Amino acid sequence: MSQKTLTDSAQQGAVEAASAASAKRWWILAVVAVAQLMVVLDATIVNIALPSAQADLGFSDGNRQWIVTAYALAFASLLLLGGRIADLFGRKTAFLIGVVGFAAVSALGGAANGFGMLVTARALQGAFGALLAPAALSLLNTTFTDARERARAFSVYGAIAGAGGAVGLLLGGVLTDAFDWRWTLYVNVAIAVVAFVGGWLLLTNHRDAGNSKLDVPGTVLVAAGLFSLVYGFSNAETHDWGSALTWGFLIAGGVLLAAFAWWQTKAAHPLLPPRILLDRNRAASFLAVLISGGGMFGVFLFLTYYLQLNLGFSPTKTGVAFLPMVGALMVAAQLGTTVLVPRVGPKVAIPLGFAIAAAGMAWLTGIGVGSSYVSAVLPQLIVTGVGLGLVMPAAMQLATGGVAAEDAGVASATVNAMQQVGGSIGTALLNTLAASAATDYLAGKDATSKLVQAQATIESYTTAFWWSAGLFAVGAVLAFALFRRGVPEQDADAAPVVHM
């Protein structure tokens, strides 16, 4: 066979391969979107089922936030490591292992016979989610090479990620009402089957960092630091703030995270390259995502309990009750990213969003034992949703836009980590403050009175809402101080904006 024939044959094969890849890329997007939906909705789907799960398994109020926190903490702690594993061992391998593992531990959680088994399953969900999410994200980066198609693919991916929380709240309510709280976990098995079959048939394995190594010291330091921090906040409820188990773990967490930051400047293959944080707007955006996550997760947790236990809402009705907030958030997100930030810059738009969210949370403290959802909850939720809609998508865009192409994945992973860590710390801290407020209210009163008990729970919710309002107010001040003036410049050679 002549050299020309061999060359022509090779070119023909390349064309056919490219055509086949082109034909299946939208199917790959569908598979990735299904897997991403599973990961995102699990951050909120269990919230709606928490009262039912708590009644069934008999765990304490002090332990309930660990059902939420365990997932978020494991996910955030291991996210950067998950991205590196996908680069080292192949995206298809990481994706499929993530999907199968997520399904298996979801089934374990659904079959839980006690608090320990359930919280272990939730932590393992977070760990497998941390492997799955970066692999899914990088698969889109490598599958869509045309700029216009890539933008369309990421818009679909972003919509799934944004709506996932709302879908989780609604789906959690429907499943809890129609079947049992355990189905909020079993449903992942059905979703995972679809994602696994599609991934097995459509994906190809690709390794980008065969010569790199895992940053084992960095992984250990950041995971231990985050765990110590959240555990310290949680211990404040059961041991008070003066206990060594509280301040000891908080100090240990701070030291470990400081050591992690130092190690990242020395490591040959750091989990979080320092260059990601050096841009002032990007660093400010990461902080904004952290603060908004801390305040928002608390809203979901305490308002879920108020709607179900005080206003008597069913789980499904509770899920529907959150939808106006999500709708307001989505509308404000469009306004913030397409109108405000391009015209006035983040130094105005993001502090404004934080201020609006703070006002909404302060307004929400007016709830009472016999309040009406329409007057005492709905308008406040919409205002808070508008504020968060101006903050979160714009901050995510600024955090991930303008980075070098090789840093796009790690910037996206860092945004996720900030949101999840903020949620973990916020949930633990707000739960501690709320429990302390209820205890203080009951002191010297007839604790057997149903009315006194109900009023104590209201006191705990409003305390959490006031602290959330304060957190958002601090966010407004910090964002105004840290963001640069003017409209951010767009670098034509930068990686596409990617967020989850």
User: Are 302 and 424 part of one and the same domain?
Assistant: yes
Asked if residue 20 is part of any domain, the answer here is no
User: Are 202 and 220 part of one and the same domain?
Assistant: no
User: Are 385 and 450 part of one and the same domain?
Assistant: yes
User: Are 124 and 181 part of one and the same domain?
Assistant: yes
Whole-number Å distance between alpha carbons of 101 and 94: 10
How many other C-beta atoms lie within 10 A of the C-beta of residue 405? 11
Last residue of a domain, one of 197, 213, 229: 213
Q: What is the mean pLDDT of residues 202-219?
A: 70
Q: Tell me the pLDDT tens digit for each residue of 361-395.
A: 999 999 888 888 999 899 999 999 899 888 887 88
Q: Tell me the pLDDT tens digit for each residue of 136-155.
A: 766 766 676 665 565 556 55
Return the closest-CA partner of residue 32 out of 145, 148, 127, 154: 154
Whole-number Å distance between alpha carbons of 251 and 229: 8
3-class DSSP state for residue 401?
coil
Asked if residue 471 is part of any domain, the answer here is yes
| More confidently predicted of 267 and 271 | 267
Residue 235 belongs to what domain range? 215-268
User: Are 276 and 399 part of one and the same domain?
Assistant: yes
User: Are 208 and 235 part of one and the same domain?
Assistant: no
Task: For residue 72, give Cα distances in angstroms to 76, 171, 201.
Answer: 6, 19, 30
Q: Tell me the pLDDT tens digit for each residue of 314-337.
A: 878 888 888 888 888 878 877 887
Asked if residue 62 is part of any domain, the answer here is yes
**With bands split at pLDDT 50, 70 and 90, how would you rate the model's confidence at 10?**
very low
Asked if residue 136 is part of any domain, the answer here is yes
Domain holding 368: CATH number?
1.20.1250.20
Asked if residue 13 is part of any domain, the answer here is no
User: Are 209 and 262 part of one and the same domain?
Assistant: no
| More confidently predicted of 165 and 187 | 187
Last residue of a domain, one of 191, 213, 235: 213
Asked if residue 4 is part of any domain, the answer here is no
Task: For residue 217, give Cα distances in angstroms to 88, 147, 223, 260, 281.
Answer: 17, 37, 10, 8, 29
User: Are 206 and 223 part of one and the same domain?
Assistant: no
The model carries a pTM of 0.78
Rg (CA), the chain: 23
User: Are 241 and 366 part of one and the same domain?
Assistant: no
Asked whether residue 500 carries a pLDDT value surpassing 80, the answer given is no
**Percentage above 70 pLDDT, the chain:** 81
User: Are 77 and 59 part of one and the same domain?
Assistant: yes
Judged on CB neighbours under 10 Å (0-12, 13-18, 19+), 251 is middle
Last residue of a domain, one of 268, 283, 313: 268
User: Are 174 and 241 part of one and the same domain?
Assistant: no
CB 486 within 8 A of CB 345: yes
User: Are 420 and 299 part of one and the same domain?
Assistant: yes
* pLDDT value for 407: 65
Asked if residue 281 is part of any domain, the answer here is yes
- Number of domain units in the chain: 3
Asked if residue 414 is part of any domain, the answer here is yes
CB 221 within 8 A of CB 259: yes
**With bands split at pLDDT 50, 70 and 90, how would you rate the model's confidence at 416?**
confident
Return the closest-CA partner of residue 182 out of 257, 107, 265, 270: 107
